[in-house]
Structure 1
Amino acid sequence: MTPVRPLAVVGPTGTGKSALALAIADLLAHERPVEVVNADAMQLYRGMDIGTAKLSLHDRRGIPHHQLDVLDVTETATVARYQQAASADIEAIAARGALPLVVGGSMLYIQSLLDEWTFPATDATVRARWEDRLAEIGVAALHRELARVDAAAAESILPSDGRRIVRALEVVELTGRPFAASAPRIGEPRWGAVIIGLDWETAVLDERLAQRTDMMFADGLVDEVVGLLDRGLRDGVTAARALGYAQVIADLDEGGDGSGAREPTFVGTRRYVRRQRSWFRRDHRISWLDGAAAGNADRALRIWRDVS
């Protein structure tokens, strides 16, 4: 049996990627099974449900979903681990004749999966030295140090993202080359995957994000965060920085009840969406669909069939 060409649904947060994936699965129900491979980094975590808009087991409607709930909040999510695990999922799904449907908006995770990305070496001693430097001078100052040795890397990494700044400095030191030299090149997608992008007009998407944020807080995001703090969320390197979770933790630490995190969460999400849009729009392989249009599942499948 010839393995099935994967289909990826990507794009900014809040555009309706999960709903589109379910609609695609419904349309294909009488032709072949569909299995979803999550590509949202924070949906890897058990218990991080409300703030990541993770589909409940009921809402998955019996469709297998892979790479959900595979990490405790104290564990560190890495692109390399995800690439290995998700690649194995895709190949197993395709080999049994089902459609691997990759769904998410975590930019590096998606590119690591769909491009042949070989990760540069790591060295615990070098990394520890840069982590000590981060603790000594703070994230903003370390970002300035990165800018002095690799301006392009500093431009692409948020000044608040201490973990990526440390990683970039580690790679530069170990390889003697700019951090970007280790990034994958955009070429033929792995497995011949077809990539669909979903987006909305900016003002409309901003309103969707505002409604989404309100709903998360109404549905109990603060209580979810409090429960996860008891399970070690604060000790997590990556989980504690997730949008919504980081803002609630900060509000609680300042003596609030968590509700003050609503506006910072919305602002942070809107800023992240701008970064996602800029990243994905550089990828010429993506066929874009207007989230406001009807019939996007049909359009996505037509594109997939035309290529397949």
Structure 2
Amino acid sequence: MATSPPAVIAVVGPTGSGKSDLAVALALELGGEVINADAMQFYRGMDIGTAKVTAEERRGVPHHLLDTLDVTEEASVSDFQRKARAAIAEIHGRGKRAILAGGSGLYVRAALDVLEFPGTDPAIRRRLEAELDDAGLAPLRTRLEAVDPLSAARVGDARRVVRALEVFELTGRPFSSFMPVREYFQPAVQIGLEVDRELLKDRLAHRVHRMVADGLQAEVQRLDAAGLRNGKTAARALGYSQFLKVLDGEWDVGQATEDTIVATRKFARRQLTWFRADPRITWLDWQDPELVAKAAAICR
């Protein structure tokens, strides 16, 4: 009789909470390998500003889906889903434990949950965009209300109305039917890192200052030469968008540093809100001396 695969492990929480360290420690404890689920760590060369785990910090644990994109390429959740699930199957096939680590909530859910991504059709998209240009948003919104009232109530901007109509024409299903549900694609366990918010605020500020001292501006300059500004995803990354303004002479280093700190703290709050909404996550104190042992016990 075929045995079911082991549960996928996911280590989640806000940026700066220690997810990478815990994932590596669990991999060493349980015989596992780590799969990156941080969208900005897909990018080659974006090392300092994303706090990408160094070879030394990986402690010999294999890491997957790091450095898979050039900064000019756009990150895709559906592409990540395919690659992450292939990596999970390959790791489990070798008798190891697959451990997702990252704070990009939708990417984690794409790997773990029953979540479909409808395709695209450039011809349909062009026709709908032409209709938008000719007649405005109102007729498209009226059509969407007729075929998919749930999406019509949720989406506001023209781009998303066009996308919802494109999906309906392409699949015959309302776009709202593709919304995720909290149902695991295969057995999974999620460990969330519970943080002290004031301590995290201080840690994030210290981390940004350390990134600047370690050469963030020079890293952004190198990536700018490689086409960073042309990347829809990479150019918006925390720290990178701010230091592009330094290169342009709009801001000084101090202003870019402070703006990065503020933006990183806001991002951490959004991550906490996202993960807090998932009742399946088991939360553990990020500073508990027994953190690794407790997390390993849950995963076993």
* TM-score after normalising by structure 2: 0.85
Q: Of 4, 15, 18, which residue of structure 2 is paired with 1:16?
A: 18
- Residue 24 of structure 1 and its aligned partner are, at CA, apart by 1.6
In 2, Cα distance between equivalents of 1:97 and 1:242: 36
Residues 12 and 131 of structure 1: CA distance in aligned 2, closer, same or farther (over 3 Å): farther
Distance 2:289 2:128 in 1: 50
Structure 1 equivalent of residue 121 of structure 2: 123
Q: Aligned to 2:277, which of 279, 282, 292?
A: 282
Report the counterpart of residue 77 of structure 1 in structure 2: 75
Shift of 1:151: 5.1
Contact 1:198 1:291 in 2 (8 A): yes
Q: For each residue in 1:114-155, what CA deviation from the matched residue of structure 2 results, as whole angstroms up to 9, or x when unmatched?
A: 012111232324556888999xxxxxxxxxxx9xx845345x
The residue correspondences of 1:189-208 to structure 2 (distance < 5 A) are 189-208=184-203
Q: Map 1:142-157; keep pairs closer than 5 Å.
A: 150=152, 152-153=154-155
- Tell me by how many angstroms 1:25 deviates: 2.5
Q: Distance between the aligned counterparts of 1:195 and 1:230, measured in 2?
A: 39
Instruction: Return the offset for 1:174.
Output: 1.9
The structure whose Rg is larger is: 2
Equivalent residue in structure 2 for 1:106, among 98, 101, 104: 104
Amino acid at match of 1:174: E
Return the alpha-carbon distance in structure 2 between the equivalents of residues 221 and 132 of structure 1: 42
Alpha-carbon separation, structure 1, partners of 2:57 and 2:129: 41
| Structure 1: gaps of 5 or more residues | 135-145, 160-164
- TM-score, structure 1 length as denominator? 0.83
AA at the equivalent of 2:49: G
Aligned residues with identical type, % of pairs: 48
Matched, 1:271 2:266: yes
Stretches of structure 2 lacking an aligned partner (at least 5 in a row):
133-143, 145-150
1:24-103 aligned at under 5 Å gives the runs: 24-28=26-30, 33-103=31-101
Change in CA separation of 1:95 and 1:262 when aligned onto 2, cut-off 3 Å: same
Give yes or no for contact 1:247–1:261 (8 Å, CA) kept in 2: yes
What do residues 43-84 of structure 1 show as CA deviations (whole Å, max 9, x unaligned)?
Answer: 000000011100112221111000000111111110011110
One-letter amino acid matched to 1:170: V
Q: Which residue of 1 aligns with 2:136?
A: none
For residues 48 and 133 of structure 1, the distance between their equivalents in structure 2, rounded to whole angstroms, comes to 39
Query: C-alpha separation between the residues in 2 aligned to 1:274 and 1:199?
Result: 12
Query: Residue type matched to 1:49 in 2?
Result: D
Q: Does 1:169 align with 2:165?
A: no
Q: Indicate which of 202, 209, 214 corresponds to 1:219.
A: 214
Q: Structure 1 CA distance, aligned partners of 2:81 and 2:277? A: 21
Compared CA separation, residues 249 and 150, structure 1 to 2 (3 A): farther
Deviation digits for residues 170-199 of structure 1, max 9, x if unmatched? 332224587654221002x22201111113
Measure, in 2, the Cα distance between the counterparts of 1:132 and 1:274. Answer: 39
2:12/2:102 contact within 8 Å kept: yes
1:13-52 deviation line (CA, Å, top 9, x unaligned): 1110011112222323xxxx31100000000000000111
8 Å contact from structure 1 (residues 39, 105) kept in 2: yes
RMSD across aligned C-alpha pairs, in angstroms?
Answer: 2.7
Q: Is the 8 A contact 2:128 2:166 kept in 1?
A: no
Instruction: Please state whether the residue corresponding to 1:191 is helix, strand or coil.
Output: coil
| Aligned equivalents of 2:84, 2:254: Cα separation in 1 | 36
Residues 179 and 304 of structure 1: CA distance in aligned 2, closer, same or farther (over 3 Å): same
3-state DSSP of counterpart to 1:89? helix
Equivalent position SS for 1:280: helix
Residue 244 (structure 1) aligned with residue 239 (structure 2): yes
Bigger mean CA offset, 15-24 vs 88-97: 15-24
Conserved? CA contact 2:221–2:247, under 8 Å: no
* 2:176 pairs with 1:184: no
**Which whole-Å CA distance do the structure 1 matches of 2:125 and 2:11 have between them?**
34
Contact 1:10–1:103, Cα closer than 8 Å, also in 2? yes
Equivalent-residue separation in structure 1 for 2:153 and 2:218 (angstroms)? 41
